[in-house]
Amino acid sequence: MSKEKDVFRETARLIISGSIYTLMWLVSLYIMYMTLFLVYKVFSVMLIHISYLSDTSEAWLSKASQMSITLTEEVLSVVTIILVLVKSFKILISYSKHHHIEIKPLVEIAIIALLMEVVFNFWAHSMQINWLFAIFGLGLLVIYATFPYFRKKVKV
């Protein structure tokens, strides 16, 4: 019976390890994709602004400022998504090395994701859900800032 258990455990370990490494590969590809998308967006808007540099009409200035606001929102949204993905990649690396997940990175991702939902997807949810996200995110932030566990340095 113990030989069957060992075979089962080894098979489960191989499946989980393979899944973790596949997920790490997919997350890294998506991080690269989002980074390239961010670079493309910034450079395309810069080229548009440079091409119309001599045009100082009121209509163009209004359109350019609206474009800048939209670009800023998109850039900040993509940067926070990349930040969440990098944190999740670090969690996957930690799990592949130590076969357990620490609470600190999970709380950090939860704080970032909740605040990202409140800031960038405010219109997608009802006001009650936005308040719930905001309160939960601030509660996690207070817990993160006050508990000594989250402040101690972890040697990797």
Chain centroid to CA 130: how far? 19
Residue among 36, 65, 23 at smallest CA distance from 48: 65
152: DSSP letter: S
Give the predicted TM-score (pTM) of the model.
0.71
Q: Tell me how far CA of residue 103 lies from CA of 27, 87, 106, 107, 134, in angstroms.
A: 20, 12, 5, 6, 20
Tens digits of pLDDT across the chain (156 residues): 577 788 888 898 889 888 989 999 999 999 999 999 999 988 888 887 787 777 677 777 777 778 777 888 788 888 888 888 888 898 888 888 888 888 888 888 888 888 877 777 777 778 888 888 888 888 888 888 888 777 666 565
Distance from C-alpha of 75 to C-alpha of 120, rounded to nearest angstrom: 11
Distance from C-alpha of 24 to C-alpha of 41, rounded to nearest angstrom: 26
Distance from C-alpha of 143 to C-alpha of 136, rounded to nearest angstrom: 10
49: three-class secondary structure by DSSP: helix
